[in-house]
């Protein structure tokens, strides 16, 4: 596909998504090297999976600079990995807390960056349905499996995601 046939708007959108993708990939690569050097590479992959799964449809805090975005993402991801590796709650509490987080997240999402146009009602409904499906599947996994480190990291990242989503919702 030749970019010469794209309109100015289409080129701008393409460039926006390309920059965003490269930015996120570069952060993930740096995170990997940090966690790998600390001996937490498996935990990093578990955490990154849940971090992306929970955030992709609901959004959250958006930073104005790459550095602040990097630092905030590192803080949130590290917190989930550390808490998920150290603190295990009884399964019933984990399920109940996950359900509460799911309810809150689905009611607040999506929280988009201020630079994006206001979301349409259809977009909001689709994002909430997708988020409900992701969290619903997570709760189903919680219900049907024994507690383990990957799931526990996901549990703590769901709590952290819900908290940062609430902060982003209040700030907009």
Percent of the chain with pLDDT over 70: 98
Q: How many CB atoms lie within 10 A of CB 59?
A: 22
- Does the pLDDT of residue 115 top 80, yes or no? no
DSSP code at position 109: -
Instruction: Extract the tokens encoding 52.
Output: 């992306």
- Does the pLDDT of residue 52 top 90, yes or no? yes
Q: Which of 85, 102, 88 is nearest to 47 (CA)?
A: 85
Percent of the chain with pLDDT over 90: 76
For residues 92 and 46, the answer to whether their CB atoms sit within 8 Å is: no
Could you give the 3-state DSSP secondary structure of residue 72?
Answer: helix
For residues 155 and 79, the answer to whether their CB atoms sit within 8 Å is: no
Distance CA 160, CA 158 (A): 5
Average pLDDT over residues 79-84: 97
For residues 59 and 108, the answer to whether their CB atoms sit within 8 Å is: no
Instruction: Extract the tokens encoding 118.
Output: 């206001």
Average pLDDT over residues 52-66: 91
The residue extents of the domains of the chain are 8-171
Distance CA 128, CA 171 (A): 20
Could you give the 3-state DSSP secondary structure of residue 42?
Answer: helix
Q: What is the model's pLDDT at position 117? A: 78
């Amino acid at each position: 596909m030749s970019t010469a046939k794209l309109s100015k708007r289409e080129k701008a959108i393409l460039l926006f998504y390309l920059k965003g993708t490269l930015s996120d990939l570069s952060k993930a690569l740096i995170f990997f090297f940090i966690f790998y050097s600390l001996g937490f590479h498996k935990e990093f992959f578990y955490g990154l999976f849940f971090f992306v799964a929970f955030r992709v449809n609901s959004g959250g805090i958006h930073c104005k600079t790459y550095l602040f975005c990097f630092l905030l993402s590192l803080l949130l991801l590290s917190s989930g990995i550390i808490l998920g590796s150290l603190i295990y709650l009884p399964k019933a509490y984990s399920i109940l807390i996950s359900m509460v987080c799911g309810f809150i997240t689905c009611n607040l999402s999506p929280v988009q960056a201020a630079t994006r146009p206001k979301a349409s009602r259809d977009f909001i409904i689709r994002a909430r349905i997708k988020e409900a499906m992701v969290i619903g599947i997570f709760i189903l996994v919680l219900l049907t499996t024994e507690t383990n480190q990957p799931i526990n990291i996901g549990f703590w990242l769901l709590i952290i995601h819900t908290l940062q989503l609430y902060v982003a919702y209040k700030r907009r």
